[in-house]
Amino acid sequence: MGCFDASVNLPGGAVIDSFDLLAHDSSSAAGGKGVYAELDACETADDSGCNVQKIFWTSGAPGYVVLSSGPVGTLVDNDANLYTMRVCTFAGDITTRFRAVRIHYRLRVSPAPATATFGDVPTDYIYFRAIEALAKSGIASGCGGGNFCPGQAVTRGELAKFLANALGLSFP
């Protein structure tokens, strides 16, 4: 048996929906558990205090297969946990192997602050939380003078800048 552990680095507040395992299992000696995948959330770096978030394994059908973990639903809290993906092959030979793991997650908008960042966007404004999230993430900085100008039209150039910021593109 051999295991591979890899750190999972996702943004705090993200929700892990599921993960996929691309594996090959043609081993009958593994008892139907030839390749095993596990997502752990650990309170410490030494594997003590780990909580299994999701676990599944191959069935022994020959050939490469893509298996999905099904729903996970873990909210990523990087302050409290270290996340690890562990994949193990049980046969100890080439009859069990894995090629990749893909984690499916989605980002969530963080809670809005108690006080407004922009003078023209009150806390009870319908888009207050979204505007605050864009400002906090550096995607949008407002129209100047401490205002956001939520009713002002956006030019194609401004939209290009928003999208470049959102995609993390850098300007040397």
pLDDT score of 60 more than 80: no
Q: Are 40 and 49 in contact (CB under 8 A)?
A: no
The mean pLDDT value for 99-128 works out to 92
Kindly list the domain boundaries of the chain, sorted by start residue: 2-106, 109-172
Task: Say which residue the tokens 């729903």 belong to.
Answer: 71
Distance between CA atoms of residues 130 and 163, nearest Å: 15
Which architecture does CATH list for 2-106?
A: Sandwich (2.60)
Per-residue confidence band for 131, with pLDDT thresholds at 50, 70 and 90: very high
User: What confidence score (pLDDT) does residue 94 get?
Assistant: 77
Q: Exposed, middle or buried, 34 (CB in 10 Å: 0-12/13-18/19+)?
A: buried
State the pLDDT at residue 81: 92
pLDDT band at 32 (very low <50, low <70, confident <90, very high): low
Whether pTM > 0.95 for this model: the answer is no
